[in-house]
Structure 1
Amino acid sequence: MKLSELKTSGHPKTLFSSFLYFDVSFMIWVILGALGVFITQDFGLSPSQKGMIVAVPILAGSVFRIVLGILTDRFGPKKTAILGMSITTIPLLWGLFAGNTIPELYMIGILLGVAGASFAVALPMASRWYPPHLQGVAMGIAGAGNSGTLIATLFGPRLAENFGWHVTMGLAIIPLLITFFVFILLAKDAPTQPAPQPLANYFKVFAHKDTWFFCLLYSVTFGGFVGLSSFLSMFFVDEYGLSSVQAGDFVTLCVAAGSFFRPVGGYISDKIGGVKVLSFLFIGVAVCMLGVSQLPPLFAITALLFVGMMCLGMGNGAVFQLVPQRFQKEIGMVTGIVGAAGGIGGFFLPNILGTLKELTGSYSSGFITFSCIALAAIAILIIANFSWRKTWNIKDGAVKI
C-alpha cells in the first residue's frame, strides 16, 4: 500500500471536506469542556457538576450519532452534514446571548451533541470512496478531525479570558460558516452510496454480535480520548493549581498526541491488523493511567497523559480499520452505533473522575478505575478475535485483522 494511492483510488476533496467538517464540529462539541474553568467560576460548580457539564454534550452526541448515521445511509452524507451544521448554530447562538442558568447549560450541551454526531457522517463519507486496503488510513485521516479539540483547548481559554465565555461561543460560528461553504463546494457523495432501505432494515445491525464488540472496544478508546479531553483542563487547575490558559496548553499537548496519531493507528492496522495493534495499545493505556493515578509531578503526569492519549488515539484508528471490513453497506448506521458507544464511554469517564474525587477527595481512584477498564478491554478483544477468525474471510487475505 502506498499513500499516493489516496489520490488515485478515491476522492481527495471529499476526504479533506470530511476531515474539515469533523474537525470544526469536534471543536464545537467539546467547547464546554474547554471553557469549563470559566463556567465553573460563574456558577460555582461542585466536582460532580463539573463532570456533568462536560459530559452532557458527549452523551447527547451518542444519541445523535445513531440518528445521523441512519440519515447518512438513507439520504447521503452531504445532505446530512449540511443539516447537522445548520442545527449546530443554535447552541452557539444560545450560549452567546443567554446561557445564564445551569438548566440552560444542559440544554446547550444537548444541542452541541449534534456537532459530535458529525462522526457518523464524516467517516462513512470518506470510507465509501476508498478500497478495503486503504480503509485504515482513509478513516484515520477523516477521523483525525478529532484534533478540533486542540483548537478548543488552545484558543478557547485565551478568548474567554479576554472576551468572556459567552462571546467565545459566538465566535465559534465563524469557522463553522467557513466549513459550511467549503463543504458545499468540495464534498461529493460516493457513487457506491447504497439505495435507501426501509427504516427497520437499518436496525438489523443491532442483532450482530460484532456490532457490540466494536461498541465495547470503541467505548474505551474514543470514550477515554474525548472524556479526558473534556475533563483534563479542570483536573490540571484543581490538582496542580495551573491557570485556565496554562491548563489549556497542557491539555492541548495531550490531545495532539491522540488526534494526530489516529491515522498512524489506522495505517499500522492496514499493515498488520487492527487486533494486534489494539492489544498493545490497551496495555499501554492501562500502564499510563495507573501511573497517572499516583498523581506524580506535573512533568511526569503530562508525559504519562501524552503517551496514554496517543495510545487511545491510535486505538480509535485501529477500531475503524476493522469496522469497514465487517460492515461496508451498513457503514453509516454502524459508524453511528459504534460512535455512540464511544460517546457513552466519554460521558461516564468525566462523571467517574468527578464523582470519585467528590467521594474520596482524590482523583487517584478515578484513574485506577480507568486503568482496570483498559485491562478489561483486552479480555473483550481476545473473545472478539476468537469469534472473528472463525466467521470472517481471513484465509485468502481478503480481510486483515
Structure 2
Amino acid sequence: MIKKLQLPLQTMNLVVGFMVWVIISSLIPFISEDITIAPERLAIVTAVPVVLGSILRIPLGYYANVFGARIIFLVSFILLLFPVFYLSEASSFTDLIISGLFLGIGGAVFSVGVTSLPKYYPKEKHGLVNGIYGAGNIGTAVTTFSAPLIATQIGWSNTVKIYLILLLIFAALNFFFGDRHEPKVKTPIIEQIKGVYKNEKLWFFSLFYFITFGSFVAFTIYLPNFLVSNFGLEKVDAGMRTAGFIALATFLRPVGGWLADKLQPLLLLMGTFFIYTIAAIVLAFSPTIGIYTVGTLAIAVSAGIGNGVIFKLVPFYFNKQAGIANGIVSMMGGLGGFFPPIMLSIIFSVTGQYSIGFMLLSQVALASLVLVVWMYYQDRLQLAAEVFKSTGQGILVTDISGKIKTVNPAFTKLTGFEESDVIGQNPNIMKSDRQPKDFYKEMWQEIEQKGMWQGEIWNRRKNGEEYLQWLNISAVKDDTGEVVRYVGTFTDITSEYKKKTVTIPVMTT
C-alpha cells in the first residue's frame, strides 16, 4: 500500500516545493511597493532562489539514493520553514536575497523524485512516471496564480506565512506515509561522478534540459513583471497569464514522457527544438500582445514535452548512476532558469529591448537541434556496431577490389584469423582446393546479376583445417546503384555435414 502512495505523495511534494520556490517572483510587484528595489536589481532578486535550487539538486539526487526519498523530503520541508518565515518579515533588499537563496531548497527537491520513483516501475514506464512526477512543477502556477490574489486581500507578508502551514502538513505526510523500505544505493558519490562525467550524453542532456526546464523557470519568473511593465497589464492579469503558461507546460510534461515511452525520444526532441527555434525568433521581433502570447505558448509546449522526454532518456542511459546523473542534469536545468532573466535584464539596460536575448535563445535551440540529430544517427551507428560485434555469424567486409576492410569477433572465433591477419588481404587466403574454378566463376556471375549469392563452400582455418561454411555474399550499393563493397556472412556447418555422411554398420548374423 505504501509503495502505491509514493507517486502521488512525491508528486504533491514537488508541487509544494515549487510553490515555495517561486514565492518571491510571484509577489515581487507587491513586495516592491514596500521594499525599494532598483530596476537593475529586480532580475537578481527573482533569479537568486534558482541558484541554490539548482546546485543542491546534485547532493539531493545522490542522498535520495542513500537515505530514501522519505528522509530527504522531510528534512527539506523542515529546513524551508526558516527562509519562508524570514521572507515574511523581510524589510530590505538584503533580506530578500538571503531568504531567496535558501528558498532554493524548494526547487532542489526535484531530483529526489526522479531518482526514487523509477525504482517502483519497469523501464517501459519510466517516461510516463517521471513525466507525472515532473508535472508537480504546476506548483509554480499555483503560487503565481493564487499568491497575488491572496496578497490583495491580506498583504504579501501574511500570504507568505500561509506557506509555513503547508510545509508542516507535508513534513508530517512524509513522516507517516513515506516509504521506509525504499531500496537504497550507497555507492560513494565520487565513484558515481567518475562513472558519468566522461559520458558525452550526460552533458548533451544537461544542455537540452538547460534550455527546456531553464526556459520554463525563466519565463515563470520573468513574465509577471514583464507583462506589467512592457504591455501595461494589471498585476493579477499578468499572474493569470503566467499561470496559463505554467499550466500548459506542466500538463504536457507527462504527455512528453508518455510519448517517449511509445516513440523514439530523440525524434521528439528534434521536434521540440525546431519549435523552440521558430518561437524564439517570433518573440525577438517584439510583437503585439496577441502574437507574443502565441510565441510564449509555443515555448510552453516545447518546454513541457522536452522536459518529459529528457527524463525518460536520463535513467535509460544512466540506470546505475541515476541519482548523480539526475542531479547534474536537473541542476543545469535550474541554472538555465537563473541566467536568462539576468541576461535579458542586462541586454535591455544596454539596448532598450529584449530582441537580442530571444535571438540568442533561437540560436542555442538551433544548435541543440543539430546535436540531437547527430546523437540520433550516432545511436543508430552504435546499434549497428553492437550487432556487428555480438552476432554469432562470421562477417567480413571487402571493397570492390576484394580487399578485406573489416571483420567481426565471430570471424576470428570461426576461422582462427585475427583482424590484423586479414585486413588488406583477399578472402582467397582462406580458400580450400575442394571447389573447381568454375564454382567461383559462377558464384560471382550470380552476385553481379542478382546482387547476392548463398550456398555451401569449403574453406580453410588459419591452422589449415578445412571446414564447411554456409556462406552469404551480398553486394552493397550506393544511392546511384554503384557497388561500393561486398559483405560476407557465414556459419560453420561442418558438424551437420558429418552427421549426414556417417554410415551406420549393418549387423549380420
| TM-score normalised according to structure 1 size | 0.91
Q: Give the drift of 1:103.
A: 1.8
**Does residue 1:59 correspond to 2:51, yes or no?**
yes
Q: Which residue number in structure 2 is paired with residue 87 of structure 1?
A: 79
The two structures, once aligned, show a CA RMSD in angstroms of 2.1
SS in 1 for 2:286: coil
How many residues are aligned here?
386
Q: Give the drift of 1:80.
A: 1.1
**Does residue 1:30 correspond to 2:22, yes or no?**
yes
Q: Which residue number in structure 2 is paired with residue 273 of structure 1?
A: 264
Which structure shows the higher strand fraction? 2
**Does residue 1:343 correspond to 2:342, yes or no?**
no
- Within-5 A mapping of 1:1-400: 11-97=3-89, 99-188=90-179, 191-194=182-185, 196-204=186-194, 205-391=196-382
Cα separation, 1, equivalents of 2:58 and 2:360: 28
Q: Does the 8 A contact of 2:78 with 2:168 survive in 1?
A: no
Comparing 19-28 and 199-208, the one that deviates more = 199-208
Q: Give the drift of 1:185.
A: 3.0
Cα separation, 2, equivalents of 1:311 and 1:394: 33
Cα deviation 1:213-232 (Å, max 9, x = unaligned): 11111100000111111110
Cα separation, 1, equivalents of 2:292 and 2:386: 44
Q: Does the 8 A contact of 2:78 with 2:167 survive in 1?
A: no
Which structure shows the higher helix fraction? 1
Structure 2 segments unaligned to the other structure (5+ residues): 388-509
SS in 2 for 1:207: coil
Cα separation, 1, equivalents of 2:169 and 2:107: 18
Q: Does the 8 A contact of 2:65 with 2:116 survive in 1?
A: no
Q: Which residue number in structure 2 is paired with residue 4 of structure 1?
A: none
Cα separation, 2, equivalents of 1:103 and 1:375: 39
Q: Give the drift of 1:358.
A: 1.3
SS in 2 for 1:301: helix
User: How many percent of aligned residue pairs carry the same amino acid?
Assistant: 31
Greater gyration radius: 2
SS in 2 for 1:45: coil
Cα deviation 1:166-220 (Å, max 9, x = unaligned): 22221112222222222333332675432x1234213222232221111111100
Q: Does the 8 A contact of 2:286 with 2:355 survive in 1?
A: yes
| TM-score normalised according to structure 2 size | 0.72
Q: Give the drift of 1:384.
A: 3.2
Q: Does the 8 A contact of 1:60 with 1:113 survive in 2?
A: yes
Q: Give the drift of 1:107.
A: 1.1
Q: Give the drift of 1:387.
A: 4.0
Amino acid aligned to 2:368: A
Q: 1:192 to 1:369 in 2, by over 3 A?
A: same
Amino acid aligned to 1:33: S
Structure 1 segments unaligned to the other structure (5+ residues): 1-6, 397-401
Q: Give the drift of 1:156.
A: 1.2
Higher relative contact order (CA 8 A, sep 6+): 1
Amino acid aligned to 2:246: V
Q: Give the drift of 1:297.
A: 2.4
Cα separation, 2, equivalents of 1:40 and 1:124: 38
Q: Give the drift of 1:86.
A: 1.0
Q: Which residue number in structure 2 is paired with residue 3 of structure 1?
A: none
Amino acid aligned to 1:198: P
Q: Give the drift of 1:41.
A: 3.0
Cα separation, 1, equivalents of 2:294 and 2:279: 9
Q: Give the drift of 1:93.
A: 0.7
